[in-house]
């Protein structure tokens, strides 16, 4: 057995590499990661590593492994090249587990092939060898405030110095599905080595000869000031000098108080009358007089005779249910909505406003910066005055139209061109503070919806993503079937999640992610909204469609382009105002228009002008808000709606 020496070797880290020096025959070494990756198995999405590495065991409904795993390769270049397995007494990996998550088992194992953090995906991730795998448990107590965990990997590291290649290690989540779901800090991972003694310490060498004399030191500081000497004798009085010139005159004194008023003189003669002046402007109108007394009620006229009741007609047979293939076109409604006498108001709302959300008190506006991450943000306005309360830059995403409020937080979707790819950002609604950025994979931006418990968002693919509202963990990435592509709008409607695709289909999902079905929309597929009857509305080029929430049947499509008198041709944002009307923004005609709900939806025109290139629409309980992307404003419209619109 080798003898250990109590003096510890000096170890230092510099720019992620190891500086390793030995002062005695025993050493403690430390290495940091050379590269890291965080992947979801069975997915072609790339590396999702950030400040943390998520490890979660998960299988889909077909028992396919969809777990989140971590991959780490340590930099061993700082250790001696002559190091042998026998010299390695112990090797440990130190991990930091963040607070929160679910306890369970994790296996740390040796990877079998090379990989690159820039190209690795969930489909190409390497597997583990059978050498030295170590299983350990993360307890509930360790997840309360976060804890450091030490794992013995001596056999794995010894194999690297026995001829095996250092391809790194994997942090593998172990079953069951209700088990492990934790976050490890990616910046706190280190590999520690304790090396065996290489023999006893040799005797102390002889004292070397004295070195040459050093250069002369710098001058010392100035000494303290000496005591004051005794006062000398008084000298003789000198001769009186000549009289100097007169000094300048002093400033004038303050004015004295006024004297008493003299006696009033006699009145002068009356002057001739002047010419009549011009007529002055008319004064303001006086207040209205009191209302006169109500006159006496006139005598009631005689009641006319009642006409005979006509016979009741027979009840007609119920017609067959309509199919999605027949699409009735819209027409103008004879009922015209009336603008409130106050009229619409326009307020500045940041750079390129796109999406809108109401948090019960204030309006939130996403600002698409056009120049990538850091150029966009979100603006908060006071709903009753339009005053800007907060302008918050978002450095990790480029916001689009997707925005939602979950009762305490604001969630915003950002598309491609961001450091982590398509992601959602969570903000504290009461302060505007950014809580976190959560990558969602995919290839583009999309809508955001809250189902009362969790957040759902589209990512421009054939999938939709569900996140836990309390911490942003991904609860599931669900397929929308093979028919719908380029997922865009998201809405919680009639107890289901609805997702629109840019290829003119909508998908209906249960809250557990199970696909109910996909249905044609008749040509629309951009943004979606739910009406008071539980039905779904979808905007798209030149039209809006109404989908029956319970069945997916296309109730009708209102073609907005080509209707006489209607300039609307490219509907974008849509919102319900709680009554029978849906309000739609048109980006090409700079206007909004109302559509009446019903078995056969129709227009309630005419259109109302707003700002340039309107996009998002929201309702705050009393006013319609419209985001004007082209001129950096929002329009606030107070409305008086007819009580009983008809088809």
Q: Is residue 514 in some structural domain?
A: yes
Tokens of 244: 């100097």
Stretch 362-370: mean pLDDT: 87
Domain that holds residue 432: 345-640
Q: Is residue 299 in some structural domain?
A: no
- Show the 3-state SS of 352-388: CEEEEEECCCEEEEEECCCCCCCCCEEEEEECCCCCE
Q: Which domain-ending residue is among 195, 226, 254?
A: 195
Q: How far apart are CA 524 and CA 563, in angstroms?
A: 17
Residue 550 is predicted with a pLDDT of 77
In this predicted structure, the answer to whether residue 114 has a pLDDT above a threshold of 80 is yes
Residue 507 is predicted with a pLDDT of 93
Q: What is the largest CA-CA distance in the chain?
A: 145
Residue 409 is predicted with a pLDDT of 96
Q: How far apart are CA 137 and CA 546, in angstroms?
A: 52
The residue ranking higher by pLDDT, 178 or 535, is: 535
Residue 431 is predicted with a pLDDT of 94
Percent of residues, the chain, with pLDDT higher than 70: 71
DSSP for residue 349: -
Q: Is residue 334 in some structural domain?
A: no
pLDDT tens-digit map of 582-603: 888 888 888 888 887 777 777 7
Q: How far apart are CA 236 and CA 277, in angstroms?
A: 90
Q: List the CATH number of the domain containing 429.
A: 2.130.10.10
Q: Work out the pLDDT band at 117, boundaries 50, 70, 90.
A: very high
pLDDT tens-digit map of 260-295: 766 766 766 666 666 666 656 655 655 655 655 655
Q: Is residue 272 in some structural domain?
A: no
DSSP string covering 415-451:
-SSSTTSSEEEEEETTT--EEEEEE--SSS---EEE-
- Show the 3-state SS of 9-70: CEEEEECCEEEEECCCCCEEEEECEEEEEEEECCCCCCCCCCCEEEEECCECCCCCECCEEE
Cα→Cα distances 628→447, 546, 574, 577, 620, Å: 18, 25, 14, 19, 17
Residue 419 is predicted with a pLDDT of 65
The residue ranking higher by pLDDT, 534 or 191, is: 191
pLDDT tens-digit map of 316-354: 443 343 333 333 333 334 344 444 545 789 999 988 999
Question: Nearest-CA neighbor of 541 among 521, 556, 565, 555?
Answer: 521
Residue 516 is predicted with a pLDDT of 93
Q: How far apart are CA 378 and CA 427, in angstroms?
A: 10
Q: Is residue 240 in some structural domain?
A: no
Stretch 515-539: mean pLDDT: 88
Q: Work out the pLDDT band at 403, boundaries 50, 70, 90.
A: very high
Residue 156 is predicted with a pLDDT of 94
In the three-class reduction of DSSP (H, G, I as helix; E, B as strand; rest coil), residue 627 is classed as: strand
Q: Is residue 473 in some structural domain?
A: yes
pLDDT tens-digit map of 490-523: 999 988 999 999 898 999 999 999 999 999 988 8
> Beta partners for 483?
none
Tokens of 435: 């809580």
- Show the 3-state SS of 469-508: CCCCCEEEEEECCCCCCCEEEEEEECCEEEEEECCCEEEE
Q: Work out the pLDDT band at 164, boundaries 50, 70, 90.
A: very high
Residue 454 is predicted with a pLDDT of 96
On whether the CB atoms of residues 508 and 516 are closer than 8 A, the answer is yes
Q: Which domain-ending residue is among 178, 195, 212?
A: 195
Where do the DSSP E strands lie in 505-632? 505-509, 515-520, 528-530, 536-540, 543-547, 554-559, 571-576, 581-586, 591-596, 602-603, 608-609, 614-619, 623-628
Tokens of 73: 């390769």
Cα angle vertex 405, ends 399, 407, to 5°?
155
Residue 315 is predicted with a pLDDT of 39
Q: Work out the pLDDT band at 176, boundaries 50, 70, 90.
A: confident
* Pick from 201-205, 226-230, 320-324: least confident: 320-324
Q: Is residue 396 in some structural domain?
A: yes
Residue 558 is predicted with a pLDDT of 82
pLDDT tens-digit map of 70-81: 999 999 998 888
In this predicted structure, the answer to whether residue 451 has a pLDDT above a threshold of 80 is yes
pTM over cut 0.85: no
- Work out the number of other CB atoms within 10 angstroms of the CB of residue 230: 4
Sign for the CA dihedral angle at 323, 325, 327, 328 comes to negative
Mean pLDDT of the chain: 79
In this predicted structure, the answer to whether residue 257 has a pLDDT above a threshold of 80 is no
Q: How far apart are CA 107 and CA 69, in angstroms?
A: 10
Q: List the CATH number of the domain containing 112.
A: 2.60.120
On whether the CB atoms of residues 455 and 404 are closer than 8 A, the answer is yes
Total domain count for the chain?
A: 2
Percent of residues, the chain, with pLDDT higher than 90: 40
Stretch 512-536: mean pLDDT: 88
On whether the CB atoms of residues 385 and 348 are closer than 8 A, the answer is no
Q: Is residue 231 in some structural domain?
A: no
Stretch 611-639: mean pLDDT: 91
In this predicted structure, the answer to whether residue 480 has a pLDDT above a threshold of 70 is yes
Q: How far apart are CA 453 and CA 59, in angstroms?
A: 22
Residue 644 is predicted with a pLDDT of 37
Tokens of 267: 């009145």
Q: Which domain-ending residue is among 149, 171, 195?
A: 195
Say which residue the tokens 């491609």 belong to: 416
In the three-class reduction of DSSP (H, G, I as helix; E, B as strand; rest coil), residue 138 is classed as: strand
């Amino acid at each position: 057995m080798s003898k250990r020496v109590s003096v510890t070797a000096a170890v230092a880290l510099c720019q992620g590499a190891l500086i390793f020096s030995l002062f005695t025959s025993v050493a403690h070494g430390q290495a940091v990661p050379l590269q890291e990756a965080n992947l979801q198995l069975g997915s072609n999405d790339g590396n999702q590593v950030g400040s943390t590495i998520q490890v979660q065991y998960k299988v889909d409904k077909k028992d396919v492994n969809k777990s989140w795993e971590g991959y780490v390769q340590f930099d061993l270049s700082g250790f001696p090249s002559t190091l042998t397995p026998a010299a390695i007494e112990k090797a440990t990996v130190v991990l930091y587990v963040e607070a929160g998550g679910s306890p369970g088992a994790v296996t740390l194992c040796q990877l079998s092939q090379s990989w690159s953090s820039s190209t690795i995906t969930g489909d190409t991730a390497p597997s583990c060898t059978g050498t030295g795998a170590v299983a350990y448990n993360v307890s509930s107590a360790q997840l309360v405030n976060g804890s450091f965990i030490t794992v013995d990997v001596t056999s794995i590291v010894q194999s690297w110095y026995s001829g095996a290649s250092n391809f790194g290690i994997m942090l593998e989540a172990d079953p069951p599905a209700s088990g492990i779901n934790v976050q490890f800090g990616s910046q706190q991972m280190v590999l520690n080595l304790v090396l065996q003694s290489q023999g006893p310490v040799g005797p102390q060498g002889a004292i070397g000869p004295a070195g040459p004399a050093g250069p002369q030191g710098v001058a010392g500081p100035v000494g303290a000031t000496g005591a004051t000497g005794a006062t000398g004798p008084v000298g003789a009085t000198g001769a009186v000098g000549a009289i100097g010139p007169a000094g300048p005159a002093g400033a004038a004194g303050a004015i004295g108080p006024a004297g008493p008023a003299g006696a009033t003189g006699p009145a002068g003669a009356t002057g001739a009358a002047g010419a009549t002046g011009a007529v002055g402007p008319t004064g303001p109108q006086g207040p209205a007089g009191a209302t006169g007394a109500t006159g006496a009620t006139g005598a009631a006229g005689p009641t006319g005779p009642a006409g005979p009741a006509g016979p009741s007609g027979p009840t007609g047979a119920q017609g067959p249910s309509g199919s999605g293939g027949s699409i009735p076109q819209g027409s103008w409604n004879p009922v015209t909505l009336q603008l409130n006498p106050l009229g619409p108001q326009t307020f500045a709302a940041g750079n390129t406003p796109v999406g809108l959300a109401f948090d019960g008190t204030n309006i939130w506006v996403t600002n698409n910066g056009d120049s990538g991450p850091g150029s966009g943000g979100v603006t908060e306005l006071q709903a009753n005055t339009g005053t800007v309360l907060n302008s918050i830059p978002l450095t990790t995403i480029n916001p689009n139209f997707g925005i939602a409020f979950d009762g305490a937080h604001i969630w915003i979707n950002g598309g491609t061109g961001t450091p982590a790819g398509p992601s959602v950002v969570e903000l504290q609604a009461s302060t505007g503070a950014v809580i976190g950025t959560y990558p969602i994979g995919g290839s583009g931006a999309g809508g955001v919806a809250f189902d009362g418990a969790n957040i759902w968002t589209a990512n421009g693919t054939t999938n939709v993503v569900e996140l836990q509202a309390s911490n942003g963990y991904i609860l599931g990435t669900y397929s929308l079937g093979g028919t719908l592509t380029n997922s865009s709008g998201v809405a919680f409607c009639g107890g289901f999640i609805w997702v629109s695709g840019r290829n003119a289909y909508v998908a209906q999902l249960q809250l557990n992610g199970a696909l109910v079905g996909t249905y044609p929309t008749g040509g629309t597929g951009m943004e979606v909204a739910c009406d008071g009857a539980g039905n779904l509305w979808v905007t798209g080029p030149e039209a809006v469609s109404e989908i029956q929430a319970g069945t997916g049947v296309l109730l009708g499509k209102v073609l907005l382009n080509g209707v006489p008198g209607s300039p609307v041709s490219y509907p974008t944002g849509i919102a319900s105002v709680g009554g029978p009307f849906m309000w739609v923004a048109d980006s090409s005609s700079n206007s909004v228009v109302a559509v009446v709900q019903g078995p056969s939806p129709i227009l309630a025109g005419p259109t109302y002008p707003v700002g340039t290139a309107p996009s998002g629409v929201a309702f705050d309980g009393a006013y319609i808000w419209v985001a004007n992307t082209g001129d950096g404003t929002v329009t606030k419209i107070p409305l008086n709606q007819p009580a009983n619109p008809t088809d």
